[in-house]
Structure 1
């Protein structure tokens, strides 16, 4: 890791110097990359009690779970999206689609957070949706068009100033002219090959023909991977519309990911997807397919590329399957070992709303998968009102799981007791 930091430090200093020479106002990232203070001293702290938290707990009374499981409020976290639990179990970092990353700490280990405050408040984040950790404690945050690296973030988050470096500097994750307000929630994971994998949703409902060559070249509408020092970038996955959740099978090392499919084709088509990737360079069908084997109207007369990989699971149409994680803990019953827990965010334009629940997918030894509801009740089926919208699932060291909710602005903890 010393080699990685040296390489990243060199590139950060160079990019910072270029920034200063261009006459632009320096970002605090330049100072933090040089281990200098910024003058920022204040955090934003989030109240964890009161009427707001009580209202969330009231909602949780209606959540249905299998026998033996319990759901509780873990933390109030505004706009909570994807989560990264620190390897030491000290702090959980939570991304948002706004300009904050939150640090969530359970100091007395009673399985309820004591403190929620903004992480690295001296930095300006832009849609920092996707935090992820390496096994040796390096925090990566994938933004709209940048990826930052924070060595030892789990130990230095108590200060407003933390060591921070560009892994991919602003404007180099995707071409700046391709930045969009749509499908910009990046997700990252460290793979079993010790490379970082980053999803790059394409911004259209259906990607237009004239964009495909560029998108395939840079990995938009797919997934890229690179070394942990930022070198060796390559496109790993093609044919994705907007994936906002991926993880690696604990035994096979295969990449699995969710994908949100084409809107405007009807309430019940196309299906959402949970995909299994077994080799680099596989194509999962967008834009020729809208989801599953449903052809898009825009490409119905076009011949799809050879070797399109169909989903391992077809999910309910428009339920918006997002974050996912393989379960490796010891708290839950044996049948959940290596199962996938995933969040359905809920539909936004379906005539009758669906989703807003946590799903569990069981995978057999041949890679066959079946998806079932695990935690549901955030959608009031009588009124069609969302009382919460799950986004991501993460595992705590004790084997319980966290579920984030960006509507309620909360993290929930699901535990099991015989």
Structure 2
């Protein structure tokens, strides 16, 4: 986290320097557009991934956070409607629904300005700040309750506060689990409680910083928790020693108290979901930067026990990243993901959508695409649906919610993150720029 003195020094740097960095970034984007024609999105089970074009300085482009004006809402797919389930939150990221129908929202913001050492680091920090992607974290979980069933939360309570960048949540057998950036903590919970004040018990430790989110998902019998832990860096540029235990999905055995890496080589696995017909674990992964607009694509994939998915040595199977010192044996073992989601879409949220939950949508996965910061033409900034048949993706993605990004790409009204089926069968979407929880239902 950024110390107070560091923040003061960073924010006090001259506007002239910031403008120069922005101008350099704009020129670089134009040069890249002129230098080669745009590629079609790398999407689907057999994507056309362009040849890597290593960038000495990565593309930096992000819209200014604007938020939603009164009456302005995202664009919804035909046959659906959207309303604000709750407004006025502070950077809502993740959603969990308790058995009694209460909706919990993790409000947190990653602050990583402590590694500002170069002009590009400063440009990155300034851009992220303008886009409302860095700042002071609320570090709390808020409880929302729709008491009259009208699709709007009438009451809210501070369920927990003083946490360390909370993200994932799970509730099992009277125990509430929180995925803080530095580990998973268990708390006693009573049905219907609107606040937890008891001291928690830490059941797993994880290294903070870098990709800071710690998503949680319980298995069907409640004996295990799966935890997504992202890498510290882009391509292990600080060495593999500091990446030990990262870029992986962990399995926590709640019966024995032990944990292990379930699958590795996953640069930043965030959303987790089970496909019910096969009981297979799936995740969405944010891939590496600095190789071009569509190279490599973020992806949706099933997760095999003991599987290795390439990071940092290779991507999309065994395509070697020449920027990284190689490990031939690990490259040879790398699995190819199941379904590409396009380059730098920042696909974060993931949940299973049973057929009929939304009219016209079969079984499949819903994905919250937070949106890019590192390509010449922005991608993501939408909620999409990937249909499934026989436990596998079975067709092209469909939009559920769009309109988070202005047509000229200068502003973002919102950025979708977590997605979850609500207690009434609606689809809930966390929007961390709009500070809204959106609710999608049949029109």
Both proteins in one fold, TM over 0.5: yes
Deviation at 1:324, TM superposition (A): 0.4
CA gap of 1:331–1:223, structure 2 versus 1, over 3 A, is closer
| 2:136 paired with 1:111 | no
> What stretches of structure 1 of length at least 5 have no aligned partner?
1-53
Q: CA RMSD in A?
A: 2.4
Deviation at 1:300, TM superposition (A): 7.1
Name 1:73's counterpart in structure 2: 84
| 2:394 paired with 1:362 | no
Name 1:345's counterpart in structure 2: 370
Give the TM-score of the pair, scaled to structure 2.
0.72
Using the alignment, how far apart are the partners of 1:304 and 1:342 within structure 2?
33
Using the alignment, how far apart are the partners of 1:246 and 1:361 within structure 2?
15
Using the alignment, how far apart are the partners of 1:128 and 1:343 within structure 2?
18
Name 2:234's counterpart in structure 1: 205
Structure with the larger RCO, 1 or 2 (CA within 8 Å, 6+ apart): 2
Relative to its length, the structure with more strand (as a share) is 2
Which of 142, 165, 181 does residue 200 from structure 2 map onto? 165
CA gap of 1:80–1:304, structure 2 versus 1, over 3 A, is farther
SS in 2 for 1:72: strand
Deviation at 1:58, TM superposition (A): 2.8
SS in 1 for 2:72: helix
Structure 1 stretch displaced more, 305-314 or 78-87: 305-314
SS in 2 for 1:119: strand
Using the alignment, how far apart are the partners of 1:103 and 1:336 within structure 2?
30
Deviation at 1:304, TM superposition (A): 5.0
| 2:124 paired with 1:86 | no
CA gap of 1:363–1:140, structure 2 versus 1, over 3 A, is same
Alignment map for 1:49-60 (pairs within 5 Å): 55-60=68-73
Name 1:19's counterpart in structure 2: none
Name 1:130's counterpart in structure 2: 168
Using the alignment, how far apart are the partners of 2:398 and 2:318 within structure 1?
21
Name 2:41's counterpart in structure 1: none
Which of 263, 282, 291 does residue 289 from structure 2 map onto? 263
Conserved 8 A contact 2:187-2:201: no
Using the alignment, how far apart are the partners of 2:388 and 2:415 within structure 1?
25
Using the alignment, how far apart are the partners of 1:229 and 1:374 within structure 2?
39
| 2:315 paired with 1:313 | no
CA gap of 1:352–1:335, structure 2 versus 1, over 3 A, is closer
Deviation at 1:291, TM superposition (A): 4.9
CA gap of 1:193–1:293, structure 2 versus 1, over 3 A, is farther
Deviation at 1:192, TM superposition (A): 2.5
Structure 1 stretch displaced more, 296-305 or 87-96: 296-305
Name 2:413's counterpart in structure 1: 387
CA gap of 1:141–1:57, structure 2 versus 1, over 3 A, is farther
Deviation at 1:205, TM superposition (A): 0.4
Deviation at 1:284, TM superposition (A): 1.0
Conserved 8 A contact 2:278-2:391: no
How many residues matched? 345
Structure 1 stretch displaced more, 378-387 or 233-242: 378-387
Using the alignment, how far apart are the partners of 1:290 and 1:384 within structure 2?
31
CA gap of 1:193–1:283, structure 2 versus 1, over 3 A, is farther
Name 2:75's counterpart in structure 1: 64
SS in 1 for 2:377: coil
Using the alignment, how far apart are the partners of 2:426 and 2:82 within structure 1?
10
Name 2:257's counterpart in structure 1: 231
CA gap of 1:266–1:91, structure 2 versus 1, over 3 A, is closer
Deviation at 1:334, TM superposition (A): 6.4
Which of 220, 225, 231 does residue 192 from structure 1 map onto? 220
Give the TM-score of the pair, scaled to structure 1.
0.76
